[in-house]
Amino acid sequence: MSAIQPTVGEPVSDEMALVQAAKAGDVGSFEQLVKRYDRNVFRIAQHITQNREDAEDVVQDAFLKAYTNLAQFQGQSKFYTWLVRIAVNEALMKLRRRRPERMVSLDEDVKTEDDSLPREVADWSPNPEQQYNQAELRDILTRTIQGLPASFRTVFVLRDVEGLSTEETAEALDLSVPAVKSRLLRARLQLRERLNRYFQKRENGDANRGDGNP
Amino acid sequence: MKCSEFLQELTNYLDGVIDDRTKTELEDHLSWCHNCYVVCDTTKKTIEIYRDSQLYELPEDLRSRLRSAIVSKCHAQKKAGSEGA
């Protein structure tokens, strides 16, 4: 079984030149950085806030905050990691504002170490995602990931969807590397377990289509 | 290697960041433990399905609207900065 390879290969060669030009006041160069990363910031923001309007606000606020504070970016990390850190903070603020009854923190550690140990082990159909049309699959995946605690969801999205390294994820979230690894494992296992009902192989070889109500 | 030990190493194994000796032990475990094989395989699929899912893609019209708003705010801020200087 081969290892999963991250998909983001960032074209960083000219990135520092764009950052330097933007620092010197060239808005056009900053716009190039926006074009490069706006899709990523939007995805991250919507995964965290689970709300489209909030995600739109986060994109604007995060880039504007980055522009305003460019002088603080010293280049010890990649620009993208620095930007993600800003965007995650903006998104968490939105989430807290929307759910004031429940403290939302990346520090929350949920239940015990055993909570994500597999309870149900069932093999899946060979191409489980093809058992559903695009809209059904989107709905399944969205609802499944929304069921994770924000702290797990955020780590999974940065690491597995956006392809940040473990170290970059730790830096963007201000967590230790072991904390990122522990949350990532539990997020992956919990998602797997929750997807079981939709993707597991039936006796006759068909996928169990579930009832659409997780 | 026990199943619980295998699970502890699962993330490192899937990410390809383990030493050769541990990798050999894990793959030996996988060769006879069907449950762990299934958990490993379906966890890998879970990651791939989410990675390929294109959830929350930014539509082009919204994208240019957001970008225009960001750029005009940057210009406004630059102008305010130079006037204030």
Which ipTM was obtained for this model?
0.89
Cα distance between residue A202 and residue B81, in whole Å: 65
Q: Which of B16, B46, B78 has its CB closest to that of A188?
A: B46
Cα distance between residue A133 and residue B32, in whole Å: 35
* CB contact A184 to B (< 8 Å): yes
The answer to whether residues B36 and B77 belong to one domain is no
Q: What CATH class does A15-98 carry?
A: mainly alpha
The answer to whether residues B13 and B33 belong to one domain is yes
Q: Which fold has domain A128-199?
A: Arc Repressor Mutant, subunit A (1.10.10)
* CB contact A69 to B (< 8 Å): no
Most distant CA pair in chain B: distance in Å? Answer: 72
Compute the nearest-CA separation of A211 from chain B (Å).
Answer: 20
Kindly indicate the confidence band of residue A201, based on its pLDDT and cuts at 50, 70 and 90. confident
* CB contact A156 to B (< 8 Å): yes
Q: Domain limits at B34? A: 1-53
Cite the DSSP H helix spans in B33-59.
34-51
Sign of CA dihedral A93, A170, A48, A41: positive
| pLDDT, tens digit, 9 for 90 and up, residues A102-131 | 555 666 555 544 555 676 677 888 888 888
Cα distance between residue B13 and residue B8, in whole Å: 10
Q: Which residue has the higher pLDDT, A118 or B76?
A: B76
Q: Are A199 and A124 spatial neighbours (Cβ–Cβ below 8 Å)?
A: yes
Q: Are B13 and B41 spatial neighbours (Cβ–Cβ below 8 Å)?
A: no
Give the chain B residue nearest A139 (alpha carbons): B55
